[in-house]
Amino acid sequence: MNRERTLAGGIAIIVLASLLAVVLIPGAIAETDIEDVRASSLQIEDVAIEPGSVSGGTATLAVETRLEHRGGPAENVSVLVRAIHADSGLVETTTRQDVPTIEGEREASVTQNISVERRGDYRIETVVFRDGERIAEGAKEVNGVGTLKPAYAETSVNFHWQDSASEFPPIEYSIADAGDEQTTLNVSSYLTNQGDNPSENVRVVFTARQADSNIVADRVSVPVGEIEAGRTASPSASLSVADDYNYYLDAVLWKDGVVVGSARSAANLDPTERLSVNETNREIDLSVSDFSGDNSPNAATEATTTSNDSGQPGFTALTSVAALLVAGAIARRNTDNDD
């Protein structure tokens, strides 16, 4: 009985001493953080890709990887991003970034920039490593990288009726003058500034292109200047073309020496044929002399035509017969001289 009392008293003294140590000596018994003993868990929650700077040959893609973290601190973590070309299967570029230690139950964001050629489609792969071991991976497709416009080609100005569903053509024309086998067309278009600020100085080059041969009949450059935000400009020009042909009317929009837009309509001057902008080419009797001249983009041209008595351009069967008769007379004269 005395032994039990002695043992109980000893235990009581030890417990009392421990309590006194906790009170009098802070930190004598270390607190154990549950998070320190739990294994950390990382997984890819989402991958977002946004376009960055774009040049003539390359495009920068900003790849944001969102990591979901659970458990204890995640140390020695890195994220690898690579771009694989969809057609060739070749790795275009690879980048790897170390991630600071992640603590607490939260999401962590890692953004990396990769540069790829501005062509085709890509598969963007994301791989997460911890202590050199792959622990998570994901992939996302990026299509139409070639459609990203470089900064020098960006503009808020565009042809007003460019939608295929529009009832109005993007380029209009009227007959300003007709005679001497030449027709003068008054060609115009509409440019709208769809941005919030005034546009840069722009110009439009109007071209009349013979539909079946693709020969440029005339070309004129028209300065437009600055267009206020939300306003529409209507540049126009006179183009001189040969009669009895159908033409594509092209309008090319320029900004600081760079083509930033284009539009096309059709002009039907041949009464026997009708042309649409989506029509395939067909064979016709074409006189190249109808379209001779200088078609520089800075000035209009006057086409030189060769006509016969019937008013049709080019050489005809009557001209060929006359040439044969002259040749026969010369040959007969030479024969008489020899005799």
301 CB-contact burial (10 Å; exposed 0-12 / middle 13-18 / buried 19+): buried
- Give this prediction's pTM: 0.57
Tokens 């622990």 belong to 135
Which positions ≥6 away from 134 have C-beta within 8 Å? 127, 128
- For 68-112, the DSSP string reads EEESS-B-SEEEEEEEEETTT--EEEEEEEEE--B-SSEEEEEEE
How much of the chain, in percent, has pLDDT values that exceed 90?
Answer: 55
pLDDT in tens, 272-295: 777 777 554 444 444 444 545 554
pLDDT in tens, 121-143: 999 999 999 999 999 999 999 99
Q: Say what the pLDDT of residue 308 is.
A: 33
Q: Say what the pLDDT of residue 6 is.
A: 65
Give me the sheet containing 202-210, strands edge to edge: 216-225, 202-210, 246-255, 258-268
Tokens 């042909």 belong to 245
Reduced to 3 states, what is the DSSP secondary structure of residue 15? helix
Residue 248 CA to residue 218 CA, distance in Å, equals 11
- If you average pLDDT over residues 153-167, what whole number do you get? 83
198 or 2, which is more confident: 198
Contact 17, 24 (CB under 8 A): no
Q: Say what the pLDDT of residue 225 is.
A: 93
pLDDT band at 179 (very low <50, low <70, confident <90, very high): confident
Is residue 323 pLDDT above 60, yes or no? no
Is residue 34 pLDDT above 80, yes or no? no
- If you average pLDDT over residues 47-73, what whole number do you get? 93
Of 289, 290, 284, nearest to 212 by C-alpha is 284
264, two tokens:
């096309």
Reduced to 3 states, what is the DSSP secondary structure of residue 265? strand
213, two tokens:
């041969």
